[in-house]
Amino acid sequence: MFKSTKLACVFVLCLAAVLVLASCGQDSSGSKTHYVPSDALTAVTIYGYDDFASTDDRITQYLYEEALLEGLQVGETIIGMRLQPRGSNVGGVFDFVDQTVPQFEVRLSTSVNQPGSLSNTFSENRGADEVIVIPETSWEIVAADYHADECEARRDADTGPCDFGPFIRFANPFVYAGGSILIEVASVGATERSMFQYSHNLSGDQVRAVFEATSFDEARIATSQDRLLPYIAFVYTD
């Protein structure tokens, strides 16, 4: 069974560049973290939420363009990710609660297409270097790991953003080859909605393709596209 595990991050390295769109840090174990967007650790603005786990079974492709990945070097190995929760009570409707998603899968590749030109056919967006970094498994989400109640209180008081959640380790690492990264997330069978922070792609181009699915075996053809991107922390090594 796949489980989220905690990674203690102590930042000793920061890229100093005024116009950099993403930031990197290094922890005591030697791994580094690349945040998208760059102000994910400080921004108070509430953009909205996206469901990595939703009662609406879905498979989604997210396109993180190269400009957002400045600081990642060709040949560095992405070994996992962390997600930033939106809070425990979004619009007074959904609570961030413990749950196990029965079917969960994540793929990474160098995107063939760029923002605004995503194909509805998922296979036409994937790069030849695609890796199923988390093969089909279950995902145990523990609300306490995301400090959801504390997160919501912090947002209500405008005292800062939510902390990123625990380290989600990839079973199969992905070696960054440059260019834009395409993430494909499949989530089927969730009984609750787990909300994670997102932002709009500022260029206005479509960067997310969504397919409402009931099975991993269906042909993955998007039924909608938009410009929403979840906040994400790529954890990587040299």
**Model confidence pLDDT, tens digit, residues 195-207:** 787 776 656 578 8
Structure confidence at residue 154 (pLDDT): 77
Q: Residue 123: what are its φ and ψ, rounded to 5°?
A: -60, -25
What pLDDT, on a 0 to 100 scale, did the predictor assign at position 230? Answer: 86
Residue pair 155/44 in contact (Cβ under 8 Å)? The answer is yes
Q: What is the pTM of this model?
A: 0.82
- State the distance between the two ends of the chain, measured CA to CA, in whole angstroms: 28
Q: Is the pLDDT of residue 211 over 80?
A: yes
Token pair for 19: 């116009």
Does the pLDDT value for residue 116 go beyond 70? yes
pLDDT digits (tens, 9 = 90+) for 37-73: 888 888 766 556 666 667 778 889 999 999 999 999 9
pLDDT tens digits, one per residue of 135-193? 999 999 898 898 867 777 777 777 777 889 999 999 999 999 999 999 999 988 888 87
Query: pLDDT averaged over the chain?
Result: 80
Q: Say what the pLDDT of residue 20 is.
A: 32
Domain containing residue 124: 2-237
pLDDT band of residue 3 (cuts 50, 70, 90) is very low
pLDDT digits (tens, 9 = 90+) for 68-102: 999 999 999 999 999 988 755 555 545 678 889 99
Between CA 93 and CA 69 the distance in angstroms is: 34
Distance between CA atoms of 177 and 182, rounded to whole angstroms? 12
Count of domains in the chain?
1
Residue-level pLDDT at 7: 33
- Give yes or no for a cis peptide into 161 (omega within 30° of 0): no
Task: Indicate whether 17 pLDDT > 60.
Answer: no
pLDDT value at 1 more than 70 = no
Q: What is the 3-state secondary structure (H, E, C) of the chain?
A: CEECECCCCCCCCCCCCCCCCCEEEECCCCCEEEEECCCCCCCCCCCCEEEEECCCCEEEEEEECHHHHECECCCCEEEEEEECECCCEECCCEECCCEEEEEEEEEEEECCCCCCCCCCEHHHCCCCCCEEEEEEEEEEECHHHHCHHHHHHHHHCCCCCCCCCCEEEEEEEEECCCCCEEEEEEEECCCCCEEEEEEECCCCCCCEEEEECCCCCCCCECCEEECEEECEEEEEEC
- Residue 48 pairs in a beta bridge with none
